[in-house]
Structure 1
Amino acid sequence: MAESTAWLFLMIFVVFTFTAVSSIDDKCAACNAVAEEIENGLSNEKPRNHLDMRHRLDSKGQRKGKVIDYRVSELRVVELLDGLCDKMQDYTLQKVDSKKYEWVRVDSWDNLTINKQEAKAYSKDISSYCGRLLEETEDELAERIKKGSVKVGGVSKILCQDLSKHCTMSSDSHQADADDDEPDEEL
């Protein structure tokens, strides 16, 4: 009896996991939510001084090394992207109208009017999606951040159109495409 119950729970877990993994139908909307969180990080950046890497002394007692502009440093990239997917757990999928859903930031999980368990499952879905998205695009995104081409207002285009190709059309034509019954490929 206990063994059959364990198998039942295992099967439910497998079905739930498979459903959760495949639940991100609109990759463009999910990518835009991740881009929005990166833009929040960019807009909340405080001005920083250059990074002084002159820690060695030469034979004359002069400091040797480089002074690196913070805006093009690896430290800036790490600070922008580190913990990004954990922050995505504050998002869930909300129904806008009969056919359209969008990813929204949840201010308080206690005040949700929708099923909290389902909302938490969606938050884990987008967090997992974020991890896969960054795994695929992180090197190129980091290079673009260091070059200064990633700016507030342009993250979505760079991340979702140029790098991941999840939003390849204009937003109006993408919505019409999202209504098709063709399944999207998983990232």
Structure 2
Amino acid sequence: MAVAMVRIAMIFAIFSVAFCIDDKCAACNAVAEELEFGLSNEKPRNHLDMRHRLDSKGQRKGKRCEEEREVPGGARGLVVRVSELRVVELLDGLCEKMQDYTLEKIDSTRREWVKVDDWDNITTNKQEARAYSKDISSYCGRLLEETEDELADLIKKGSVKTGEVSKVLCQDLSKHCSVTSSPPIRWLIMKMMMMHLKNS
């Protein structure tokens, strides 16, 4: 009886690890979607002119605050200028915005991260939905802790194009999503269970 309980516990452990891996990829894609939305809505801003002195020819001397670089993004492929300060603001506010997301059941086997427009009109268990929103917000913090420096550099250089945020963040930087599609996790788990039952 004890051996059977250990086997069942191992199967549940396998399931929980598999679902955790699926959730990381799905959660990363939700974070990437929110970041892409922020980047696409980025408007050009004027930088602060801190050049207070004039040279002998009457030209201003000094530096400008916020050196800006062109970043592909925005509607219809327009080039948007994103400064270092704006990249910091985009990434700093990102995880707070993820608190508007929750995990929603799509069908009997799938769940998906969705943005909640009105928490009062949510049809599922509100307490559970809020717990999921805290989970993805915490996940976002860990994700940015791992990738923030590289991601910020890529955005400032213009290497992150519209439609590619998910690939850059979830595949290239964090590796939370695989590049190639693999067999469904449930299929692999069922195969492992069948092999285990045959051997016992």
Question: Do the two structures share a fold, i.e. TM-score over 0.5?
Answer: yes
Residue type of the alignment partner of 2:179: M
The 4+ residue runs of structure 1 with deviation greater than 4 A are 22-25, 178-181
Q: Does the CA-based 8 Å contact 2:44-2:82 persist in structure 1?
A: no
Residue type of the alignment partner of 1:96: I
Whose Rg is larger? 2
CA RMSD of aligned residues (A): 2.5
Number of matched residues?
A: 158
Q: 2:31 aligns with which of 30, 34, 39?
A: 34
1:176-187 alignment, distance < 5 Å: 176-177=184-185, 180-181=188-189
In structure 1, C-alpha distance between the alignment counterparts of 2:174 and 2:186, rounded to whole Å: 17
Question: What's 2:157 paired with?
Answer: 147
In structure 2, C-alpha distance between the alignment counterparts of 1:85 and 1:179, rounded to whole Å: 33
The 1:126/1:75 distance shift into structure 2, 3 A limit, reads: same
In structure 2, C-alpha distance between the alignment counterparts of 1:126 and 1:175, rounded to whole Å: 25
Deviation at 1:45, TM superposition (A): 1.2
Q: 2:113 aligns with which of 75, 93, 103?
A: 103
Gaps of 5+ in 2: 1-18, 70-80, 190-200
TM-score scaled by length of structure 1: 0.74
Task: Tell which has more relative contact order, 1 or 2 (C-alpha 8 A, sep 6+).
Answer: 1
Gaps of 5+ in 1: 1-21, 182-187
1:1-187 alignment, distance < 5 Å: 26-49=23-46, 51-57=47-53, 60=56, 62-67=59-64, 68-70=67-69, 71=81, 73-170=83-180, 173=181, 176-177=184-185, 180-181=188-189
Residue type of the alignment partner of 2:185: D
Deviation at 1:75, TM superposition (A): 1.4
In structure 1, C-alpha distance between the alignment counterparts of 2:183 and 2:83, rounded to whole Å: 37
Whichever structure has more strand as a proportion of its residues is 2
